[in-house]
Every structure is written in structure tokens, then in C-alpha cells.
Amino acid sequence: MPEQVFFEDVEVGQTIPSLRKNCSSQQLVVWAGASGDFYQIHYDQAFARNTGLDGIIVHGALKHAFLGQLLHDWVAPDGRIEQFGCQYRGMDYPDQDITCQGVVTGKHVEGDRHVVDLDVWTENPTGQKTTPGTARVILPSRG
């Protein structure tokens, strides 16, 4: 784990360390079991093609969880995620890089809470933002 990020260290416009993912079909099966999402378009090639897809696709909720990891790894150990959400605009496929990124869009203090807002997203190998979203985290203060 890197060193703790404090509220005072953060500037609007700052990017946070990116997280690179690349799902094997096995990871999608582990995710199916972990999440309880057994929809066959995520592990059965023939089923996926029959629904008009090019092949099996990465679960949207797994990409949401990747953004959760991106944020957790940035705020840990003492910060916490208050909210994070995303839209599934483009499909991602196994064995292709999914790069999770974030940029700080705002920061403010509410009482004793030190709040930081971000835009977060995943990018596919062509640079398309397939999963854009937003997040709010609470960081510790040096004060």
C-alpha cells in the first residue's frame, strides 16, 4: 500500500494513480460466482453470439467494482468511499486491457468531513471511455 493521501495534499485537476485490469474468462467466472450474476453472455460464447454480441463481455458490475478498487487503493488505509457510480456505455471484452482512471473535480469541508469529488472511468485499448462515472470520497486531514 502506498502512503496515506490527506485532504490537504489533493488539488482539483489532479489525476489519481491508474489501475490496469485485463480479465481472463476465468476471472469472469469467479466474478459470476462472487456476485451471483449468472447471465450466460459473460461466460458462454455461443449464448453471447446468439444474443447478437461479438462474444462474451465483461460484466458491467465488475467494471463498477474495478472503479471501487481504484478509489479504495487511493484513499486507504484511513479514507473511505462514500459513493461511486458509473454508466455502462461501451462493452469490454476478456483479454483486453481495461484501464481505470480518475481525476479530482472538487474538494470541500463539511463540518469535520473532508470531502473530495472525482470523475472516474474505464478506458478500452483504443482510449474510449466505456464506463464513465463519478465518486465522492472522505479523506483524513492533517489538521
Applying CB under 8 A, the span of 8-16, 68-76, 103-111, 120-128 interacting with other proteins comes to 68-76
Single residue of 82, 93, 104, 124 touching other proteins by CB under 8 A: 82
| Sites for other proteins among residues 11-50 (CB under 8 A) | 21, 27, 30-31, 33-39
Mapping DSSP to helix (H, G, I), strand (E, B) and coil, where does residue 97 land?
strand
Exposed e or buried b per residue across 123-143, where buried means at least 16 C-beta atoms within 10 angstroms of its C-beta: bbeeeebbbbbbbbbbbbeee
**Should residue 52 be labelled a site residue for other proteins when binding is judged by CB under 8 A?**
yes
We find the least distance from the C-beta atom of residue 123 to other proteins, in angstroms, to be 17
Q: Which of 125, 115, 51, 50 is nearest to 95 (CA)?
A: 125
Residue 140 preceded by cis peptide, ω within 30: no
Nearer to other proteins, 5 or 11 (CB): 5
15-22 vs 133-138, strand pairing mode: unpaired
Applying CB under 8 A, the span of 2-10, 81-89, 104-112, 113-121 interacting with other proteins comes to 81-89
DSSP conformation class of 127: S
The three cell numbers locating residue 27: 476471472
Positions that interact with other proteins (CB under 8 A) = 1, 21, 27, 30-31, 33-39, 51-52, 59-62, 64-66, 68-69, 71-73, 76-78, 80-88, 133
